[in-house]
Amino acid sequence: MQIAVIGSGNIGGTLARKWAAAGHQVVIGARDPAKPDVQELVGQLGGVGRAAGIADAVHDSDVVVFAVPGAAMPDTVGSLGSALNGKLVIDATNNIGAAVANSVGPITAAAPGAHVFRAFNIYGFENFADPVLGGVQADMFYAGTDGAARQQAERLIRDVGLNPICLGGLDKAELVDQFLRIWFTLAFEQKKGRRMAFKLLLG
Ligand SMILES: NC(=O)c1ccc[n+]([C@@H]2O[C@H](COP(=O)([O-])OP(=O)(O)OC[C@H]3O[C@@H](n4cnc5c(N)ncnc54)[C@H](OP(=O)(O)O)[C@@H]3O)[C@@H](O)[C@H]2O)c1
């Protein structure tokens, strides 16, 4: 797949490295693609990676993953608008402290024809870099559109090394975010630390 990762920080960089290693073409969408830390990330992606402005990265890709601050999402998706239609769009952003952590609303308002998923937001990035904890592969609880796009989303989750667990359609995005709240509570209030993830056990 040709994947645009919008944001080159902790989460964008981690996902980009994983997908490049899995053989996908990755373009980092950045406000300043020439910035040294963006170029350093491109160097880590080998021959399958490059950087571009955000609009160009989106234009060239089938998959768009947002990994920018949640507060920046209304402006970011608003300026892209219908360019996201028809694409698989993954919202990995968290609007920490806001009543709604995800940006599904702004994305679907800007691009009603996008295949939107809520994923890659419930753990710290270290657990995406290394999704096996105590010898067990972590699950990735996610929500999003049914159909062929869901199969592609699950492949992208597997390519990071996580096991996908679908909670349903986009009406379950808030439910995904409950995992985020539990993760934060356990990691910080209960002092379990950031190397922590969840597993569904079936009998
Ligand atoms: N860190 C985690 O463990 C983790 C886990 C899951 C989800 N998340 C979520 O993922 C998102 C990114 O987190 P992060 O830790 O990767 O942050 P980060 O390391 O600070 O990186 C943020 C990235 O967003 C870009 N950015 C900042 N403001 C922007 C704007 N107004 N418009 C466009 N791009 C902008 C930055 O680019 P510039 O160089 O241009 O500033 C940078 O590439 C957040 O929503 C966070 O809640 C984080």
Ligand 1 neighbour 64 (Cβ under 6 A): no
Q: 54 CA to middle of ligand 1, Å?
A: 14
Query: Which amino acid, 111?
Result: A
With a CB cutoff of 8 Å and minimum separation 6, the contacts of 135 are: none
Q: How far is CA 104 from CA 28, 85, 117, in A?
A: 21, 14, 8
Q: Scan for tokens 């009406």, then name that residue.
A: 171
Beta bridge partners of 128: none
Decide: pTM greater than 0.75: yes
Query: Which amino acid, 141?
Result: F
- Which pLDDT tens digit goes with each residue over 65-121? 999 999 999 999 999 989 999 999 999 999 998 999 999 999 999 999 999 999 999
Ligand 1 neighbour 5 (Cβ under 6 A): no
- Which pLDDT tens digit goes with each residue over 119-138? 999 999 999 999 999 999 99
Q: 199 CA to middle of ligand 1, Å?
A: 26
Q: Distance from first CA to last CA of the chain, Å, rounded?
A: 35
